[in-house]
Each structure stands twice: as structure tokens, then as C-alpha cells.
Amino acid sequence: MKLRLPSFQSSTMLGSGDTLIAERLNRLLRQAAIAFGVLLLAYLGVAVFNTRGVAQQTDLGALAQAVQGYESALLQMRRNEKDFFERKTQEELDKHKSNDEESLALLKAAKANPAATDEEVRVLTELEKTNAAYRQAFLAAANTQIALGVDENAGLQGALRKAVREAEALADKSGALDIENSVLQLRRHEKDFILRERQEFADRHAKEAQRLQQLIAGARLDGAARAQLAELAGAYDKTFKEFAAGTIAVNQSIATARAAARAAEEPLPGLLKEVAERRDAAATRVRIALLVSIPALLAVLAAVGWMLYRTLTGVRVNITHSVHQLQNTVERVRGGEQLTAESAVVSADEMGQVWRSVDALLTDRLNAQRAAESENERLNNSVISILQAVNQLSQRDLTAKAPVTEDIIGTVSDSINLLTDETNKVLHGVTRIAGEVRQVSGNVKTQAELVSKTAEDERKSVNQMIQALAEATQMTDQVAKVAEQSNRSAEQATQATDTALETVTGTVRGMESIRETISETEKRIKRLGERSQEITGIVNLINTISERTHVLALNASMQAAVAGEAGRGFAVVAEEVQRLAESSRNATQQIGTLVNNIQLETNETIATVNRTIGQVVQGSEQAQRAGEQMRRTQEITAALVEQVRRIAAASGEQKQMSETLMKSVQTIGQSTERTAAQIQAQTRETDTLLDSARRLVDSVNVFKLMPVSV
């Protein structure tokens, strides 16, 4: 009795039916290895990209801080510049130098920043040149100001004051009113130039100096006095010209320095904005890379795992089904049935080889049943061993080995063992790759946590900077208000000083008039003294005449007495002449006494007038000094008004710049918060990847694997 084996077409493996299982598993293993390699390379590429993005953000943050620090140092330099020209002290020069060195260091640090583009490096190089031009202009102005004098007694200013005092003293001594008036006009033009610092007043001073030289040349003075006065006037004019030229040079240098400072400030807002935009763009690229790469990696990993699971499950089901069919056929043959497998359609894989061997075995059995019985027994034992091994394999124990014999069943055992080894290697590879993915994911998570901590520190620093800038903006606003109030007060002080200066000028003129009147009075009193001296001479002459008349009267009396009666009348006349001489002598004595008293009183009056003149001169000098002091006060007040106006304007500019800087820092803070949020999202995605790798390892761990030699 012959029976045909059932068709096994429905039991063939998934995929191509003429491919060996080992080859298919090898191809599957290679594909899985390639997929995991590509997955690992892609993940490492994403990690490197994100690391570079974070490093770029850090470099851009350092670049922005360097540019902001340079902007702050530049503001400090401008403040030191204003303080120096107000106070004229070495301390302000040292502060300006320190801030200049700091600004240069910040520019060099910004240029050395790897995140700086060629255009930004070019802008920073231009800033270095502009900063150098500003420094040179400021030093030129400072050196010229030091040469002019840091106060009224130093430098050209001190020499100018000494020269004008000597010229005034010599002009007063000359007694020429036109020369004195010309000197006063020179002083007026000098004060106008110092107060307003305009060239027209220097030109007026030069014209008046020429006029003074002409007046000196035409004055009624001796040669030495004229030469000395002309020399002093020329020295004063020369010193003033040097002072005027230096003052104009200082103003020009200050204007050049401030233009350079403004040129240095102009590109800073655009540069800060560009750096902030690049930093935001870098953060956006990192976020996009994370959002795209992590889901893609998870999808590829899930697809590879699903493919491995589906393929291995199909292989296991196919092998188990084929072995069960083979076991059923063998049991039927053992039961005595005579079977052939001529019509069996099998695949070309290892199970197809098994079925072909079985077919050959059954065909030979028909011809040699007896010989086949013993062979059948041996085959049954081999099949049982295979079944036991396959049963262990079905229990996910890949350490099971089918005994390999020299018969046809040995080929099946060898194929099963080969299949088991390849599957074991594949699962070991899956475990290793999953472990590497898990390790890399852990490293990325650690890096993300470190980056998150860094971002949090930056956010705190930015918040502190925002708070400090808010306080600085508030203080700048208060300074602007105080500067405005000071401006109004200084203008009122200028008006009061102008009024006081006019009053003191009138006082000086009145003192000069009093001085001239007293001088004239002194001259007349001196002439009165001289006349009293003449009266004294006349009195002495009269006294001499009286003495001689008295002597002559005595002689006449003596002659009359000698003449007797005839000389009696002559004696009477002589006596009368004697009494008249006596009266004249007494009168001359009284007149002498009166003249002496007049001379004493005249001398006292002259002394009093001299003291009065001295007091008037002293008062005039004090009034002049008061006038000079008032003029200096007026100049200082005017300079103070101008400086207060500049301070008010600078405070307004500083307030606007502080507000702009505040907005920039707030933008950086918002960018930092967004970066921190994206890093947290990256951490969550990394945790998901770690969990997926863990689940993959758990899925592979259900298999009992043999150790693989490295």
C-alpha cells in the first residue's frame, strides 16, 4: 500500500523558497548590523551636531558679553574724558588709561572668539582703529590742556596772568590813561575769549594789542619806560596768542575725540543684534535637529526590532511546523505504513533538504525494508534528538545542540545547529548594539543635563544682569533729573554772577575816580605846603628886618641921648621905631608859629591823604581782584553750565543706551529660557530612547544564549 505525503507548500518559510535559512539569517544579520551601524552613526552625528551647536551658543554668548563690556568701557572712557576737562587731575587720566586698556583687551577677546565671522572681525578691527584714533585725540587734547595749565597759576595760563599783571602795573605807573584803557580792553577781550572760546575775540585782542603798541610808541615816556612797557605788552600778547591757539587746539582735539567715540558707538547695536540673531539661529538648529532626529532614530530602531522579531518568529514557526510534519510522517512509517514522498513539493532550504532525504529514505525502504528497520530505528533516535533540540529551541533556549550523526539526519542537525549559532550571534549583536545605544543615550543625557545646568546658570546671570541694568537705568534717570535741576540752578547762578560782576566793575570804576580825585587833592596840598614854606621864608625875612630895625632904633636912641636936647625928638622917633620893630618881631613870631602849625597840619593832612590814597589803592586792588574773582566765577559758572548741559545730554544718551541694552539682555534671557526648555525636551526624548533600548534588551534576554568568543 502506497500513500503520498501531503503537500508542504503551505509550510515553507516566509520569503524566497529557494534560499537556505542560514544564508537568509546571515543576510538578516548583516542588514541588522548595517541598520544599527547607520542608526549609531546617525545618533552620533546628531549628538556631535548638538554639541557643536551648544558650543557655538556659548561662544556667541561670550562674544556678546565682550562687545557689551567694550561698550561699557567706552562709556566709562567718555565719562573720564569729561571729568578730566572739568577737574584736570592725574587721577582721571589714569582712569581713562585703565578703561582704554580694558576696552582693547575686550576687543582682542572678541576677535579671538571662534564664533566671530569675517565681517564681525572686520568690524572689530575697525573698532580697534577708531578706539586708537579716539585715544590719540584725547591724549593730544589732554597734553595741550596740561601745557595750557590745570589751574590759573600753572602753564600758559599762569604765564598769561603774570604778564598781564606786570603790564597793568607798568601802565598804571606810566600815568597814561589811554594806555591804561587799552590794557583794560585787552583784559576784556581776554576774558571774553576764555569765557566763550571763539576766534573773533582772539582777533579783537590782536587788534587791541597792535593799538597798544602804537599808543606806547606815541606816549610821553622816557626811553627806558617806553621800551620796558612795549616789551611787557609784546610778551603778554605773545603769551595770549599761544594760550588762544592751545585753547582752540584743545577744542578741536576734543571734537575729534568725541567724533571718534561716536563712530565707535555706532556699529555696536547692530553687532549685538547680529550676534543675538546668530545665537537664536544656533539654538533653533539644535532644537530642530533634536525634534527631527530623535523620533527618526526611535522609528528606525523600532523597525529593526520588529523586522528581527518577525523574521526569527517566522523561522521558528517554519522549523517547528516542518519538524512536526516530519515527526508525523516518521511515526506513520514506524507504524508500518509504506509511504513515498514523490509528490511532495518542498523548498530548496535546509528543510527541503530534509524532506528530500526523507523521500530518498522512504524510497529505499520500499526496496530494503529490513535494512531500513534498523536504519529507521537509528533515524528515529536522531529525529527524537532533533525534536528534543528543536523543543529546547522553541523554549528560547539557544544553547541546545542537536547531535550530529553521519546519516542524513546529521545534515538536519548540522543545519539546525548552524541556524542556532547564527541566531545566537544575531541576538548577541542585537544585545551589544542595544547596550551601545543605551550607553550613548546615557552620555547624551548626561551632556544634556550639563548643558541644562549651564543654561540655568546663564539664565540666572542674565536675570541678575537685567536687575542690575534696571537699577542702573533708574539711577541714570535720577542723574538726568538732577542734571536738569543743576542746569537751571547754574543758569540762575550765571545771571547772579553777571549782575555781581557789573556791580563790582562799577565799584572798580568809582574807586579809580576816587583815586584820581585824592591824587589831585594830594598834589594841591603839597603845593599848599610849598607855599607855606615860602611864607616861612618871608616871615624870616621880616623877622630879620625887625631885628635889624630894632638894632638901628637902639643905635638911634643912643645917638639921640648923646645929642641931648637936640636929639630928643629923634629919640622919640627912634623909640617908636623900636616899638614898631618889637611889634613886627612879635607879629612875625606869631605868623611863624601859625605857619609852623599850618605846615604840621599840612604834613599830617598829606600823610592822611597818602594813607587814604594807599587805602584807596588797596581798595581798588581788592575791587579789581574781586572783579577778577567774579569774572573767574562767571567763567567757571559758564563752564559749569556748559558741563551740566553736557552731563544732562550725556545722561539722556546713557539712559537711552541703558534701555536699549536692557532690551538686548531681556532678549538674551528669553533665548536662554527657550534653550533650557529645548534641552529639557531633549532630555525627555533621550529618556525615551533609553527606555526603548532597555525594552529591546529585555526582549532579547528571553533567549538563553551561548557566550560568543571575541
Q: What is the pLDDT of residue 19?
A: 53
Q: What is the pLDDT of residue 369?
A: 63
How does the average pLDDT of the chain come out, rounded?
A: 73
Q: Predicted confidence band at 626 (pLDDT cuts at 50, 70, 90)?
A: confident
Which range has the top average pLDDT, 126-140, 293-307, 390-404, 524-538?
Answer: 126-140
Domain residue spans of the chain: 26-148+283-313
CA distance to 51, 424, 679, 695, per residue, from 438 (Å)? 18, 21, 19, 11
pLDDT of 516 above 80:
no
* Higher per-residue pLDDT: 316 or 182: 182
Strand (E) positions, 318-388?
A: 339-340
Single-letter amino acid, residue 703:
F
Upper half-sphere CA count for residue 393 (Cβ side, 13 Å)? 26
Q: Predicted confidence band at 2 (pLDDT cuts at 50, 70, 90)?
A: very low
pLDDT of 370 above 80:
no
Assess contact for 402 and 386: CB atoms under 8 A: yes
Q: Predicted confidence band at 11 (pLDDT cuts at 50, 70, 90)?
A: very low
Q: What is the pLDDT of residue 524?
A: 72
pLDDT of 262 above 80:
no
d(CA 682, CA 41): 18
CA distance to 231, 353, 360, 384, 409, per residue, from 405 (Å)? 137, 16, 17, 13, 7
Chain centre to alpha carbon of residue 418: 73
Assess contact for 61 and 626: CB atoms under 8 A: no
pLDDT of 21 above 70:
no
Q: What is the pLDDT of residue 702?
A: 66
pLDDT in tens, 319-352: 776 667 767 776 776 666 655 544 444 555 666 6
Q: Stretch 157-180: mean pLDDT, rounded?
A: 74
Return left, alpha or beta for 147; rule: phi > 0 is left, psi -120 to 50 is alpha, else beta: alpha
d(CA 179, CA 211): 9
